[in-house]
Amino acid sequence: MASRQAVYPPPAWKPVKRLFRLLELDRKDITFIYLYAIFAGLITLSLPLGIQAIIGLIAGGAMSSSLVLLIVVVTVGTALTGLLKVMQLTVTETLQRRIFTRSAFEFAFRIPRIRMESLAREYPPELVNRFFDTLTLQKGLPKILMDFSTAFLQIIFGLILISFYHPFFVFFGLILLLVLAAIFRFTGPGGLKTSLQESKYKYAVAHWLQELARSVTTFKLSGTSRFPLEQTDGLVVNYLDARRQHFRILLFQYGNIVAFKTIVTGALLILG
């Protein structure tokens, strides 16, 4: 089994800063995404109130123009929410295309101009495989911009809504936000570090498989050598170890969130 090589990731949060610099070029479009999310959140917040009013009117047997108006308002609100989601998706798709195009031209511009001394201990074709991180970013961009913003606004609007029932819930909501922020603040750097380690080992495996394909004639002439399998075994074990460490942090985060959700639900029921 091949020996394991230590991987030293960059300082914590440095990749996050790079991501922000990348998205800063499309700041205007991202602003539109968040505006759409805010309007959709406000409409979504009002829909349960409208539905509750409709149920109350129907239960009271009041078939009036107010009931028809409420039904129309709720229906239009549902349609507007869907339309805003489609608009968010359209802007996000435009951003994904721009990021791919920008990344491709960035690689093409920088590779011929790279300093040779910086490649003393590197293999350029293996480094170029990092371009495929662009595809990962493309897949993750909708979650970052749409799902995260929607979830965050739902939390904020939900806390605002329950604060109307009693002023104590304002203080309670602030405590909830602080606990959530603390969970991700103290587990985020570790998760980022293990994620980078996992990514590095992933590309190490891909590079080794490329080398096998490039030297296929040599390996065929060497007969039934176990070296390709032994080298692959060592690299895959490194990847699995890094993946396991990353999963532990994810499991810790999800476990804390589930426990946190359970405590919040129980506290709200106790407080009435």
Average pLDDT of the chain, as a whole number = 80
Question: 119: which 2 tokens?
Answer: 């490649």
- For residues 242 and 178, give the distance between their C-alpha atoms in angstroms, rounded to a whole number: 30
Confidence (pLDDT) at 9: 42
pLDDT for 13 equals 57
pLDDT at residue 8 greater than cutoff 50: no
- In the chain, what is the straight-line distance between the N-terminal and C-terminal CA atoms, in Å? 61
Does residue 7 carry a pLDDT above 50? no
Query: How many C-beta atoms surround the C-beta of residue 223 within 10 A?
Result: 6
170-193 pLDDT tens trace: 777 778 778 878 888 888 888 888
User: What percent of the chain lies above the pLDDT cut of 70?
Assistant: 92
Query: Phi and psi of 224, rounded to 5°?
Result: -90, 60
Give DSSP secondary structure letters for 156-176. Answer: HHHHHHHHTT-THHHHHHHHH
Taking alpha carbons only, the member of 33, 45, 51, 49 closest to residue 155 is: 45
pLDDT at residue number 224? 74
pLDDT at site 3? 42
Position 245 confidence tier, pLDDT thresholds 50, 70, 90: very high
Residue 55 banded pLDDT, cuts 50, 70, 90: confident
pLDDT value at residue 2: 42
Give yes or no for residue 5 having a pLDDT over 70. no
- Where is mean pLDDT largest: 61-75, 96-110, 197-211, 234-248? 234-248
128 neighbors 203 (Cβ within 8 angstroms): no
Q: How confident is the model at residue 242 (pLDDT cuts 50, 70, 90)?
A: very high
